[in-house]
Amino acid sequence: MFLMGSLGLHLFMKMDAVERTTGAKYECLLFDMDDTLYPLSTGVNLACRKNIEEFMLQYLNIKESEVPRMCLELYREYGTTMAGLKALGYEFDNDEFHAYAHGRLPYETLTPDPVLRNLLLSMPQRKIIFTNADKAHARQVLKRLGLEDCFEGIICFETLNPPLEPADYMDALDDNQVLAGGDKEPNTADRTDASSVSSKSPILCKPSLESFEAAIQIANVDPKKTIFFDDSARNIASGKAAGLHTVIVGSSVLVPGADYALRSIHNIKEAIPEIWNDEEQMKQVIQYAAVETVVIA
């Protein structure tokens, strides 16, 4: 997997300069990870929520009767339960939270997906993960799916929430090669109105518009030439507000702000064939960029 270090940033900038001369309709594909690259039916999402509730009970001493309701309400108001807990003043180590939430997940339910792998590798555009998860979880998921070499980099929790606040978002790449974020809740709790999410939390995460603006700047992409894929309706709304083309995944029905709807991520080619129409125009970009690369981990 490519790491987003200073060389990666240089690559972003160089590719940006070249791509703008090609006239390609789409230059970058930005993918959410959990419940987007694999289905909700794996049970990973539910197991993560149960782990978070247990963390709240065991380590934050929140009353057992209050935990489920509080977990859901914080997710709705702040984007992730973790962000909400921080906003309320609960003190805990971010890495310890992520280790507890993700350390006991049923990763064995995630298996290699050769169909998706072939689709991703056939796409001529840059491909980047944009997730609220932490980098360890992101790496584990991509490895299990057999997709670890299909993406240029990962924008994650550590990217948007570095231990030491950088002077600007671009600097975060130097110390946070793989990028990820917090937790996700079942789609039944999802709201399409991203503006209802509080920005008072010290944690930066989707669906806040600020997180999208940061991701766009970090990846050095033109939102007008970038497609964003996500299973969350409110993340889609924020992506559209940030100027991105948007695809809701896991639904055959359009949600507010979505340009396309995919029942499965495997349906990309049928729904958006123009991604492949840019192949000849993008070929020179990929060949040129290969000279500039790469740090591999």
Structure tokens at 282: 């993008």
Predicted TM-score of the model (pTM): 0.81
| Residuewise pLDDT in 10s, the chain (297 residues) | 444 433 344 444 444 444 454 578 999 999 999 999 999 999 999 999 999 999 999 999 999 999 999 999 999 999 999 999 999 999 999 999 999 999 999 999 999 999 999 999 999 999 999 999 999 999 999 999 999 999 999 999 999 999 864 434 333 333 334 543 334 443 444 545 554 555 567 899 999 999 999 999 999 999 999 999 999 999 999 999 999 999 999 999 999 999 999 999 999 999 999 999 866 655 544 444 433 322 222
Q: Which residues of 220-238 are buried (b: 16+ CB within 10 A; e: fewer)?
A: bbebebbbbbbbbbbbbbb
Q: Which of 75, 77, 78 is nearest to 101 (CA)?
A: 75
Q: What is the DSSP letter of 244?
A: -
Peptide bond between residue 207 and the one before it cis (omega within 30 degrees of 0): yes
Bridge partners for 247 per DSSP: 229, 260
Q: Where are the beta strands (DSSP E) in the chain?
A: 28-31, 126-130, 153-155, 226-230, 245-249, 260-262
Q: What is the DSSP string of 103-138?
A: TT--GGG----HHHHHHHHH--SEEEEE-SS-HHHH
Cα 98 to chain centroid distance, Å, stands at: 16
Report whether 238 contacts 206 (CB < 8 A): yes
For residue 178, give the DSSP letter. Answer: B
Quick one: which of 108, 99, 101 has its CA closest to 42?
Answer: 108
pLDDT, tens digit, 9 for 90 and up, residues 162-186: 986 443 433 333 333 454 333 444 3
Residues 37-50: tens digit of each pLDDT: 999 999 999 999 99
Residue pair 228/246 in contact (Cβ under 8 Å)? The answer is: yes
* pLDDT recorded at residue 201: 73
